[in-house]
């Protein structure tokens, strides 16, 4: 990295490239750096990735966007969490909700922790998570999570959107902030004598030169993996999905503001509401089912057996690079790695990578001083997300196919996850365990409690004893009416989406 860095080339114009362009243009607006995004006219974007986590809202607000600016143009809807369906066969736990936590939950979450903790110790209390969160009330009643001005709590939510449209929108926004755009297919990168990228060569024999390069070329990872040879550590031993088949279906008038993830025979299906359609995608392992059978299973699941809608089929690889920033190149997006999309964390990783890179570059006065620290930090985040996703599979109780049997046992889970699971089943406080492992910044304790409690990793009804001896028991009816009362403040999802479009 050069202390007097004057130019950056971002190679790749998928969502990762355009988020990077906007963040760099925003944070370094006073540094007189020339930013150019180069995109191949011949290589398409991946074109999936329709669900976000709440940090996307923070990014969009940071770069100066209101919901009315972008949501209508990207066919976006609100997202308050994810329902997981048919992952567990434990009675009473065939379905649970993983919410985005918001401020009103501060009054009800202590009851969830209390019940969940004592249920693990064999006391007959209801530890099923969904009922303790406002997001679940909103999802059930199909209400948008946008609070009226007099609602005294902060809300927290993400979005669903058409990823290609979001990319186009962010491209326009970046252009207004001075980011240049060039179409060219890069065929090679030429290194200088120290192994840094000197310049790029294109298929029309042109050269493109910059002080620093961002590799956002998707799974190709043209610069970081292919040219600089940074190794890729796969995690396919524990996460063996490598394929997806995708279909749109008709939209609903007032869709529930959540993603639904339903386990099928060889993986799981997402159902994501957009204003113009539902996005549906079956994520599966080609080692257990061939692509045509997977398509048939999805068609059957969606009731589309007679439909002539064409399916899109995709392949992907799971894992991450060993270094995200090497020499004068930063990989962002699929080029740095991918953990399957079960919790829709990929764009969050993009934002986090760019934000931490900017922080490290600023702190080191545009030198490589904090590069190793940065790389470790991002890798740790990847690994923490990987473990949370691996846990979904590890604790499944389906026995209908080899796929699910293997998912529960094959491969070696990390020590971190093993210790976390051991803490849970031995009745220890897992908030303490997450803090001990310094993992609470990734998926917080509530998320782990939802995952483990939601899939019913508890003593069964036959194994528990009554809770009569307890000094304190929470009144679940009161909690329910409190959350229902809060929900009265919110508009139907569709109505809020109309308001947003009218403001625009
Ligand atoms: P791409 O979209 O592949 O873009 C690559 C870009 O690089 C293109 O512009 C291409 O033209 C350019 N390029 C490539 N090679 C060259 C070259 N040689 N010269 C010039 N240009 C080049 N994420 C979420 O956050 N939520 C989700 O719900 C979600 N679901 C997903 C489901 C599936 C099945 C998959 C596979 C991914 C999902 N993701 C999700 C991840 C998400 O799709 C990506 O993180 C996101 O789209 C960013 O992709 P990208 O920009 O890294 O790569």
Distance CA 365, CA 370 (A): 10
H or E element in which residue 136 lies? helix 134-141
> Which ligand 1 atom is at minimum distance from the Cα of 246?
34
Under a CB-based contact definition with an 8 Å cutoff, are residues 265 and 282 in contact?
Answer: no
Name all residues whose Cβ lies below 6 A of ligand 1: 11-17, 38-40, 43, 45-46, 48-52, 163, 185-186, 216-218, 220, 222, 244, 281, 283, 314, 316, 333-335, 341, 344, 346-347
Going from the Cα of 220 to the center of ligand 1, the distance in angstroms, rounded, reads 10
Number of residues that make up the chain = 504
Protein residue whose Cα sits closest to atom 43 of ligand 1: 49
pLDDT band at 504 (very low <50, low <70, confident <90, very high): low
Residues labelled catalytic? 79
Under a CB-based contact definition with an 8 Å cutoff, are residues 233 and 320 in contact?
Answer: yes
DSSP tag of 149: T
Under a CB-based contact definition with an 8 Å cutoff, are residues 273 and 257 in contact?
Answer: yes
Per-residue pLDDT, 503: 73
> Which ligand 1 atom is at minimum distance from the Cα of 18?
51
For residue range 5-56, list pLDDT tens digits in order: 999 999 999 999 999 999 999 999 999 999 999 999 999 999 887 999 999 9
Q: What is the mean pLDDT of residues 110-122?
A: 94
Q: What is the mean pLDDT of residues 119-136?
A: 94
Closest CA to 341 of 246, 415, 229, 444: 246
Protein residue whose Cα sits closest to atom 42 of ligand 1: 49
Q: How far is CA 313 from the centre of its chain?
A: 20
Ligand 1 test: best mutation among 217, 269, 351, most atoms within 8 Å of CB? 217
- Confidence check: pLDDT of 382 > 90: yes
> Which ligand 1 atom is at minimum distance from the Cα of 283?
34
Going from the Cα of 269 to the center of ligand 1, the distance in angstroms, rounded, reads 19
Q: Which residues contact 109 (CB under 8 A, 6 or more apart)?
A: 101, 132, 133, 446
DSSP tag of 335: G
Q: What share of the chain has pLDDT > 70, as a percent?
A: 99
Going from the Cα of 17 to the center of ligand 1, the distance in angstroms, rounded, reads 9
Distance CA 180, CA 8 (A): 10
For residue range 419-477, list pLDDT tens digits in order: 999 999 999 999 999 999 988 878 999 999 999 999 999 988 888 888 766 767 899 99
pLDDT band at 352 (very low <50, low <70, confident <90, very high): very high
Per-residue pLDDT, 483: 97
Protein residue whose Cα sits closest to atom 51 of ligand 1: 14
Per-residue pLDDT, 235: 96
pLDDT band at 306 (very low <50, low <70, confident <90, very high): confident
> Which ligand 1 atom is at minimum distance from the Cα of 42?
11
> Which ligand 1 atom is at minimum distance from the Cα of 41?
11
Which residues, in sequence order, are bridge partners of residue 492? Answer: 143
User: What does pLDDT average to over the chain?
Assistant: 95
Per-residue pLDDT, 307: 82
Q: What is the mean pLDDT of residues 46-72?
A: 95
Per-residue pLDDT, 501: 86
Beta-strand relationship, 34-39 and 77-79: unpaired
Per-residue pLDDT, 462: 85
Protein residue whose Cα sits closest to atom 4 of ligand 1: 14
Q: What Å distances lie between residue 336 and 115, 141, 323, CA to CA? A: 40, 39, 8
H or E element in which residue 392 lies? helix 371-394
Torsion of CA 57, 60, 61, 67, to 10 degrees: -80
Q: Which residues contact 407 (CB under 8 A, 6 or more apart)?
A: 240, 393, 394, 396
Q: Which residues contact 438 (CB under 8 A, 6 or more apart)?
A: none
Going from the Cα of 13 to the center of ligand 1, the distance in angstroms, rounded, reads 9
pLDDT band at 309 (very low <50, low <70, confident <90, very high): confident
Per-residue pLDDT, 198: 97
Q: What share of the chain has pLDDT > 90, as a percent?
A: 91
Per-residue pLDDT, 163: 95
Q: How far is CA 212 from the centre of its chain?
A: 27
Going from the Cα of 16 to the center of ligand 1, the distance in angstroms, rounded, reads 7
Q: What Å distances lie between residue 341 and 105, 243, 318, 437, CA to CA? A: 26, 11, 10, 24
For residue range 150-184, list pLDDT tens digits in order: 999 999 999 999 999 999 999 999 999 999 999 99
């Amino acid at each position: 990295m050069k202390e007097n860095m004057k130019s950056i080339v971002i190679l790749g114009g998928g969502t990762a490239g355009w988020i990077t362009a906007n963040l760099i243009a925003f944070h370094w607006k006073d540094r007189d750096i020339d930013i150019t995004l180069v995109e191949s006219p011949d290589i398409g974007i991946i074109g999936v990735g329709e669900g976000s986590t709440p940090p996307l809202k923070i990014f969009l607000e940071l770069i100066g966007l209101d919901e009315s600016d972008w949501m209508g143009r990207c066919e976006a809807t609100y997202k308050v969490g994810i329902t997981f369906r048919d992952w567990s066969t434990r009675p009473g736990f065939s379905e649970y909700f993983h919410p985005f936590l918001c401020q009103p939950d501060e009054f009800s979450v202590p009851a969830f922790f209390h019940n969940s903790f004592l249920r693990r110790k064999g006391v007959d209390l209801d530890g099923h998570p969904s009922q303790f969160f406002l997001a679940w009330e909103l999802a059930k009643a199909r209400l948008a999570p946008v609070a009226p001005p007099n609602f005294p709590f902060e809300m927290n939510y993400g979005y669903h959107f058409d990823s290609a449209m979001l990319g186009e929108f962010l491209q326009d926004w970046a252009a207004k902030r001075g980011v240049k755009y060039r179409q060219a297919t890069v065929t090679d990168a030429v290194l200088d004598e120290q192994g840094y990228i000197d310049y790029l060569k294109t298929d029309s024999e042109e050269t493109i030169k910059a002080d620093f390069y961002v590799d956002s070329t998707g799974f190709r990872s043209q610069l970081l993996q292919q040219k600089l040879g940074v190794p890729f550590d796969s995690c396919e031993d524990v996460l063996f999905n490598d394929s997806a088949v995708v279909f749109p279906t008709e939209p609903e008038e007032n869709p529930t503001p959540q993603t639904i993830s339903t386990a099928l025979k060889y993986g799981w299906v997402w159902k994501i509401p957009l204003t113009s359609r539902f996005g549906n995608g079956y994520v599966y392992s080609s080692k257990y089912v061939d692509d045509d059978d997977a398509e048939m299973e999805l068609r059957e699941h969606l009731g589309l057996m007679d439909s002539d809608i064409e399916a899109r089929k995709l392949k992907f690889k799971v894992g991450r690079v060993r270094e995200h920033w090497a020499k004068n190149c930063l990989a962002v997006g699929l080029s740095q790695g991918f953990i399957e999309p079960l919790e829709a964390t990929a764009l969050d990783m993009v934002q986090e990578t760019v934000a931490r890179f900017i922080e490290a570059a600023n702190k080191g006065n545009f030198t490589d001083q904090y590069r190793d620290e940065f790389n470790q930090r991002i890798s740790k985040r990847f690994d923490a997300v990987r473990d949370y996703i691996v846990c979904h599979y590890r604790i499944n109780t389906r026995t209908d196919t080899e796929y699910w049997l293997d998912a529960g046992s094959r491969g070696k889970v990390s020590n971190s996850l093993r210790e976390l699971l051991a803490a849970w089943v031995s009745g220890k406080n897992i908030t303490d365990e997450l803090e001990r492992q310094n993992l609470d910044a990734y998926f917080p304790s509530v998320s782990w409690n939802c995952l483990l409690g939601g899939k019913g990793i508890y003593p069964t009804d036959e194994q528990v004893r009554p809770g009569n001896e307890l000094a304190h028991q929470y009144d679940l009816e009161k909690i329910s009416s409190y959350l229902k009362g809060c929900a009265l403040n919110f508009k139907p999802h569709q109505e809020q989406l109309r308001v947003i479009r009218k403001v625009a």
